[in-house]
Structure 1
Amino acid sequence: AQRRVEVSVQQVMTDAAGQFLGVLRLGLLTRQLDRAVQITLGRAGEKDPHRIFICDRQGRLITRLAPNDRLEESGEDLRIAPASLPPEITSALADAKLRAGRENAPSISGQFQHGGEDFLTTFRALPETQDWLVGIVVPRAYYLGQLTAMRRQLLAASLAIMVVLVAGGGLILRGVKRAQAQIARESVKMNAFDFSAAPTASAFRDVSAVLLSLEKAKTAMRAMGKYVPIDLVRRLYQEKSEPVLGGELMEISIMFTDIENFTAASEKLAPDDLAAALGRYLEVMVRIIQQECGGTIDKFIGDAIMTFWNAPELLADHSRKACRAALRCREAGRALSRSPEWRGLPDFETRFGLHRDHALVGHFGAPDRMNYTAMGDAVNLASRLEGLNKQYGTTILASERIFENARAHFDFRLLDFVAVKGKSETIKIYELLGAKGEARWRTEAVESYEQAWHAYLARDFAGAVAILQRQESDPPSVVLLERCRAFQNAPPPADWQGVYVAASK
């Protein structure tokens, strides 16, 4: 027969007078106790992780954990001997708080870790029993897992946001630094008078506004540089001053240019063609004068250009620069006339006049509208020298002062003693032949002219004619030859000193 295992309680029964009535015995089958702890606490549809059991304060099980758990005798008692006691329950039953708990303590809670996993335990006393307790063991993650996951997700999200913020902040900082560097770079360029255009696009609206303002300022400066010598603007900027009416006496080298027979050539061209040809010609001249030779262009007078050196910036070799500018402009003008882009237009042969002397240089005009220019006899003489080219068949004439200051670097020849129109004093005029040693092909003509010139000054007009007749391809020789023949027919007065009086400009 199958043995029945139960838990029994016996109690002596007495009446009100204390007389023995009998013994009351109450038995509870162990399987009923087992069913009592086989309740489900988990969420519906999920495996219940709760382990519920009844034990005493010595950590001994009262209920079985599995149907196949055996019962063993322990003295006069039977005890549960689980076939396989789960380690988490073993740890819970071994908890010191279980034994140290007071009988009047309704519950004991705690947690422990086993196998790297956290567990929660709760023991609650069963009243009116022999210190029995209901124990529950459950993985901590069951209740706090979602919260932990949420915390991890929140931490991960926070970290990601921080990374994004740091990365975005770094990009923004780099952009700001790049924008600041761009503003600083453009400011430095403007300070150095580099007004070349630059992009104004920026990811920052305020930076774009600043860059756009700088570009507007550079545009204004580029426009001003087309009307005013940029060196003058630079000096005013560095001195933090505004132009005022007045000038100072300065020694300068002056160059006047003019296109030979320009009026006749302009009559053959349509207005648009004339404007295009003149614009291209002046572009070439200006580039050489300003960029290559450091000249200050005073003004354009139709097809003529007035230029001076040594103002506003001082130059130690300004006469040399003026001579080089004249030679380079003549060379470039002839190359332009031979180029395919000239499309058969009339040749623009340029004549030049060079002079060095003191002139009044400064701002002249009205208080609210003025020009930076040079004034005085020196300017007028340079203009007269340019005009004298027509009478001698030359292209570049220079004064004696230009000759004296540039003769070490250029070849000249003395052409004549001249009293120019509007001036009473006599000046020596020289033809600029080229850089030193470059005009050797004209050596014979130059030497013959010098021999004839000395004969001319000695009133030996016949001897001069005999020399000059062999140089009919040299225009100045032809001019002097005609003059000598004229003097053969009508000799000059006794006080004549070889001075030619120019009757026209």
Structure 2
Amino acid sequence: MERPKTIIRTLPYLFAATSQVGMTLAQALEHGGVVGVDLTLDRLMLYIRSIRANDAHRFMAFDDKNRLLAHFDPQQLFKRSGLRDAPAIDLATTADLTDPVVREALRIFSDKGAYGLADFKVAGMTYLATVDRQVARDGGAFFQLYAAPLSDFQGSLADAAGRSIPVALLIFFLTLPAIIYLARSISMPLAKLSKEAELIRAFELDDPIKLRSRVHEVNTLIRSMSGMKGTIREVSKFVPKALVKDILESESEVAVGGQTRRVSILFTDVKDFTPIVGAMSPDNLMAHMSEYFEHLASLIIRSNGTVDKFIGDAIFSFWNAPLAVARHEHVACMAALECRAASRRLNVQWVDKGLSAWHTRFGIHVGEAVLGNVGSSDRIDYTAVGDNVNIAARLEGLNKFYGSSILTSGLIADVCSDEFLFRHVDRSRPKGVDKPIDIFELLGTINGPDEFRVSPAIRKLVEDWDHVYEVYASQDWLRALDAIETFADDYPEDVLAGIYLDRVAGFLLEPPAESWDGIIRFSKK
């Protein structure tokens, strides 16, 4: 022994005396001599078998020369060699092993050396294997191999899942009613709120939102949307709804500015309103004005008109702005007829209550106007301005002179005579208007609803008047006087005939200049 105190370990071998597998440990003594001990591997083999979960697990150890040091099957640790008469038992090597799982794990080891983890398939089953390198106390190296089916590692997870899934299903079914209730308590109000949002988008703002929810967040959303709907509804009382809708849809900033657009313009006014005001208390006056405006303005808005403003007892409105309106001239004429009928129905109710009737007069014109926002940085008004707006206002005022209720310009009559019956009233130049205009009276529809359709008698009146006006336009005052007197005899209640009788009689006494263009000029509004 050259190295005292160093322990020498032999490879495993078969003890001759006991036929057991073991190894010898020996150590040289410091003063000479050797001490040795034989150790059987029975307990090691028991330990190896104990760490295997089942027979499908493989465990073995081998040295750096591929000689087996331990094996899960002790019979595989040795191999027999030599002649039949003189057999020998040698330590087996990894090359002597036939187990396919071990051989595949060793193949990977021969390619890669020691490895932490590898997976492979044998006979359709997936295995996990590891080969770990260890260093013995005597400095020699050896390797440990362990292999087991992947399913053995997943089995515990599958068992846990098998136990937890029924419990989870039980909990799910027990809580399902609560889940459904909670989901419905959220989804149903949200579905109704979605419908409310569509109503707001369509500007149907009259009905309040009557929803409640036990969910705090949903209830907060309901209150917010209800407040928004109410705010838009209230703002629309001061600003044309079409304009508010256009602002909301365009998401643009409201700024001062305008554009030129062809619009049909309507002005209304109440006849002899000043005496009416003097005869009513302030509270009654405001209540009647609100009822009156509600009836007329609602008809204008329903026909896609824009109510620009209320001026005392007057209404200023127009069509084709800010939203485009097809055939807006016809729409304006129909709206005027509907407003006149609504005013007459309202008068019947008021007269039955002992109140004064309000007779409404209308003026309609069409033409270019500047539409847009005017005002200051904190107060903006959407309106229409221009000469054509002034003409519509003057036409309304001329009703007082001609004894009519709805006067229109010749431009309106030219466009709408296919559906409405007009009577040529005069050719005049109202005060504040820089050019003469032909004035017509709107009498009703030709083939419209019964309430607005002109009677055959009115058609006959217009035909007879057209003949009278033709003679008048020739400026043959004697013939004109005869024609008007004949017409007045046939229609004694006609106010316009009386006006023309006085006019022509005056022309006979004091004829107009030969250069007279037939235009009646007004010096007062």
CA 1:340–1:458 in 2, change beyond 3 Å: closer, same or farther? Answer: closer
Quote how far apart the aligned CAs of 1:342 are: 5.7
Could you tell me which of 339, 342, 347 is aligned with 1:332? Answer: 342
Give the match's secondary structure for 2:208.
Answer: coil
Partner of 1:441: 457
Instruction: Find the aligned partners of 1:287 and 1:348 in 2 and give their Cα distance.
Output: 18
Question: Residue 509 of structure 2 corresponds to which residue in structure 1?
Answer: 489
Change (3 A) 1:352 1:177: same
3-state SS, counterpart of residue 343 of structure 2: helix
Residues 1:477 and 2:477 aligned together: no
Could you tell me the TM-score, scaled by structure 2's length?
0.64
Report deviation, 1:163.
4.8
> C-alpha distance in 1, partners of 2:505/2:351?
45
Aligned AA (1:334): R
Residue 464 of structure 1: CA displacement?
2.3
Verify the 8 A CA contact 2:423 2:443 in the aligned structure 1. Answer: yes
Q: Contact 1:457–1:497 at 8 Å: present in 2 too? A: no
- How far did 1:164 drift? 4.4
CA shift digits 1:110-141 (9 cap, x unpaired) = xxxxxxxxxxxxxxxxxxxxxxxxxxxxxxxx
Matches of 1:478 and 1:444, distance apart in 2: 18
Alpha-carbon distance change, 406 to 234 in structure 1, aligned in 2, over 3 angstroms: same
Provide the rounded CA distance (Å) in 2 between the counterparts of 1:187 and 1:458.
64
Counting aligned pairs with the same residue, the percent is: 35
CA distance in structure 2 between the partners assigned to 1:399 and 1:294 by the alignment = 21
The equivalent position to 1:183 in structure 2, one of 188, 193, 196, is: 193
User: What is aligned with 1:349?
Assistant: 359
Residues 162-311 of structure 1 mapped to structure 2, 5 A cutoff = 163-195=173-205, 196-291=207-302, 293-311=303-321
Amino acid at match of 2:340: R
- Say which of 475, 478, 483 aligns to 1:467: 483
Change in CA separation of 1:175 and 1:341 when aligned onto 2, cut-off 3 Å: farther
Give the letter aligned to residue 258 of structure 2.
Answer: G
Q: State the partner residue of 2:521.
A: 501
Question: Structure 1 counterpart of 2:298, which letter?
Answer: R
User: What SS does structure 2 have at the residue aligned with 1:345?
Assistant: coil
- Could you say if the C-alpha distance between residues 385 and 175 of structure 1 is closer, same or farther in structure 2, counting changes exceeding 3 Å? same
Tell me if structure 2 keeps the 8 A contact 1:456–1:498: no
TM-score normalised to the size of structure 1? 0.66
Instruction: State the alpha-carbon separation in 2 of the partners of residues 449 and 167 from structure 1.
Output: 82
Do 2:273 and 2:313's aligned partners in 1 also have CA atoms closer than 8 Å?
yes
Relative to structure 1, is the Cα distance of residues 168 and 299 closer, same or farther in structure 2, using a 3 angstrom cutoff?
Answer: same
Letter in 1 for 2:288: A
Shift in alpha-carbon separation, 1:466–1:341, aligned structure 2, 3 A: closer
Equivalent-residue separation in structure 2 for 1:207 and 1:285 (angstroms):
40
Give the unaligned 5+ runs of structure 2. Answer: 1-166, 448-452
- Three-state SS of the structure 1 residue aligned to 2:354 is coil
Which runs of 5 or more residues in structure 1 are unaligned? 1-156
> When the two structures are aligned, how many residues end up with a matched partner?
349
Q: Secondary structure in 2 aligned to 1:504?
A: coil
Give 1 or 2 for the bigger CA radius of gyration: 1
2:343–2:359 contact (8 Å) kept in structure 1: yes
Secondary structure at the residue paired with 2:269?
A: strand
| Separation (CA, whole Å) in 1 of partners of 2:511 and 2:290 | 49
Aligned to 2:103: none
- Identify which of 456, 459, 462 aligns with 2:472: 456
Distance in 2 between residues matched to 1:373 and 1:344, nearest whole Å: 38
Deviations 1:144-184 (A, max 9, x none): xxxxxxxxxxxxx9999765422112211222221332333
* Contact 2:332 2:364 survives alignment (8 Å): yes
What residue is the counterpart of 1:410 in the other structure? 420
Report Cα offsets for 1:317-373 as digits up to 9, x if no partner: 100010001111111101111126861211111100000000000001112211000
Output the amino acid matched with 1:501.
Answer: R
CA gap 1:170/1:502 in 2 versus in 1, 3 angstroms: same
Deviations along 1:191-229, one digit per CA (max 9) or x if unpaired, are: 333333111311111111110000001111001111111
Are the equivalent residues in 2 in contact too, given 1:452–1:465 (CA < 8 A)? no
- Alignment of 1:382 with 2:398, yes or no, is no
